[in-house]
Amino acid sequence: MAMYLGVVGVGGVGSAFIEQLGRLPNAPELILLSRSSQTLLSPKQDYSPRIPAADWAIAAATPLLIKTGHALSPKEMAEYLASAPGRAILVDTTTDLTLAQAYPLFLQKGISVVTPNKKGFSSDLSLWHAIFASAAQGNALVYHQATVGGSLPVLSTLRDLVATGDEIIRIEGVLSGSLSLLFDQFMPAHGSSDEQWSTLVAHAREIGHTEPDPRDDLNGMDFARKLTILARVIGLDVANPDSFPVESLIPAELSSLPSAAEFMDQLPRFDAQMNSLKDKARNQGKVVRYVGSIDVPTKAIKVGLQHFDEDSPIANLKGSQIISMYTKRYGDMPLILKGGGGGGEITAMAVMADLLKVMGRLN
């Protein structure tokens, strides 16, 4: 049976995803493609012609496709997809909370959801519960591998451990590719660096390794959202990503500056502070890294700076992400996943792998 696909967002992940979709054998039928300025739809009578994924950027010129001059509301999208003559799947490649809040609506209508958008799974706990209850109710599937660890199989592995009755004891790691790289450049495990923190942040921002406003990486909230999701998959009821200690790398004085540009202008004032963090670690023969952990027995979750031996795996990530899972069955040899997890194409690959799994299960 044919499957019908709606894709929202054509940013870095979205455009890479659609490009991969264009090369996929037996791809599902793309009938909805939504961006902030426009939505493309296959006409509703027979949901044909489809949107050509291989040429999506010029698809707006395809005759017979419907073009709206605006983004559809989540409710309109859900109704459109639910009427398709087969199982429908929503691929949300945005970082939009409003769309994520509508996942329960899609799922109740039997539309499965595949997404790298962390918002739905890391905001209020009630939304998390509503998403999975709605999926059960609508007999639909929710796959969100790419919300943690890029395309590293973090969530699927953790879910397998839990489903087969292993007991998770502790999870720790570096789940921010941009902070992993910044700290490697600021204080490499071997050799040394004279670069100032503010210079490195400015450079990372220029080449697109941070969010447009680097404070969205430096405040640790993206990392905290990932830990929230991991903790919930284990079964810990984390209220939201503000409910545990997160060490922000934004100096308090700069947190309320209105623009990213002003923040970047002011950041050099705090280089001395960062250098003293570095010196303190070096005096103990260590390096400083930004890590997160979940200790299951005590339910303690935290994100922040820690010292590591120069030869430890975490000191030598060079921009990779890493996650270690300590479980009852694995004992003192934890299960470790590591890799250059971020980037549009890698994240799109994780979304695509999820889509293939959903298609396999709906078939």
Q: What is the Cα–Cα distance from 13 to 93, expressed in whole angstroms?
A: 6
Using the minimum distance from each CB to a copy of itself, give the nearer residue, 94 or 145: 145
Q: How many residues would you count in the chain?
A: 363
User: What is the smallest separation between the CB atom of 73 and a copy of itself, expressed in angstroms?
Assistant: 31
Backbone angles phi, psi at 119, to 5 degrees: -55, -40
**Which helix (DSSP H) or strand (DSSP E) does residue 12 occupy?**
helix 12-22
User: If binding is defined by CB under 8 A, does position 30 make contact with a copy of itself?
Assistant: no
Q: What is the Cα–Cα distance from 94 to 79, expressed in whole angstroms?
A: 20
User: If binding is defined by CB under 8 A, does position 349 make contact with a copy of itself?
Assistant: yes
Contacts with a copy of itself, 141-170, as mask; x by CB under 8 A: ----------xxx--xx--xx-xxxx----
User: What is the smallest separation between the CB atom of 72 and a copy of itself, expressed in angstroms?
Assistant: 28
User: If binding is defined by CB under 8 A, does position 353 make contact with a copy of itself?
Assistant: yes
Own/partner long-range contacts of 303-311 (Cβ < 8 Å, ≥24 apart): 303/220, 303/223, 303/224, 303/227, 303/244, 303/245, 303/246, 303/247, 304/220, 304/245, 304/246, 304/247, 305/247, 305/277, 307/281, 309/285, 310/189, 310/190, 310/285, 310/286, 311/189
User: If binding is defined by CB under 8 A, does position 15 make contact with a copy of itself?
Assistant: no
Using the minimum distance from each CB to a copy of itself, give the nearer residue, 160 or 237: 160
User: If binding is defined by CB under 8 A, does position 356 make contact with a copy of itself?
Assistant: yes
Using the minimum distance from each CB to a copy of itself, give the nearer residue, 283 or 363: 363
- For a copy of itself, the binding residues in 308-337 under the rule CB under 8 A are 311, 313, 318-320, 329-337
SS3 of 86, please? coil
User: If binding is defined by CB under 8 A, does position 24 make contact with a copy of itself?
Assistant: yes
User: What is the smallest separation between the CB atom of 258 and a copy of itself, expressed in angstroms?
Assistant: 36
User: What is the smallest separation between the CB atom of 354 and a copy of itself, expressed in angstroms?
Assistant: 9
Look-up of token digits 């209020």 = 124
User: If binding is defined by CB under 8 A, does position 260 make contact with a copy of itself?
Assistant: no
Using the minimum distance from each CB to a copy of itself, give the nearer residue, 64 or 333: 333
User: What is the smallest separation between the CB atom of 216 and a copy of itself, expressed in angstroms?
Assistant: 23
Using the minimum distance from each CB to a copy of itself, give the nearer residue, 153 or 304: 153
Which of the ranges 20-28, 117-125, 241-249, 291-299 carries the binding residues for a copy of itself, by CB under 8 A?
Answer: 20-28
* E strands, the chain, in order: 3-8, 29-34, 39-41, 66-68, 87-92, 112-114, 142-143, 168-174, 286-295, 300-309, 321-327, 335-339
User: If binding is defined by CB under 8 A, does position 112 make contact with a copy of itself?
Assistant: no
Whether 299 sits among the annotated catalytic residues: the reply is no
Site size toward a copy of itself, by CB under 8 A: 41
* E strands, 20-146, in order: 29-34, 39-41, 66-68, 87-92, 112-114, 142-143
User: What is the smallest separation between the CB atom of 339 and a copy of itself, expressed in angstroms?
Assistant: 4
The catalytic residue among 44, 118, 119, 226 is 226
Tokens read off for 101: 């809040």
Nearest-CA neighbor of 187 among 273, 316, 303? 316
Q: What single DSSP character describes residue 293?
A: E
Q: What single DSSP character describes residue 143?
A: E
Using the minimum distance from each CB to a copy of itself, give the nearer residue, 210 or 347: 347
Using the minimum distance from each CB to a copy of itself, give the nearer residue, 188 or 334: 334
* Residue 101 Rama label (left phi>0; alpha psi -120 to 50; beta): alpha
Residues at the contact surface with a copy of itself, assessed by CB under 8 A? 20, 23-24, 151-153, 156-157, 160-161, 163-166, 311, 313, 318-320, 329-340, 345-346, 349-350, 352-353, 356, 360-361, 363
Provide the annotated active-site residues.
Answer: 226
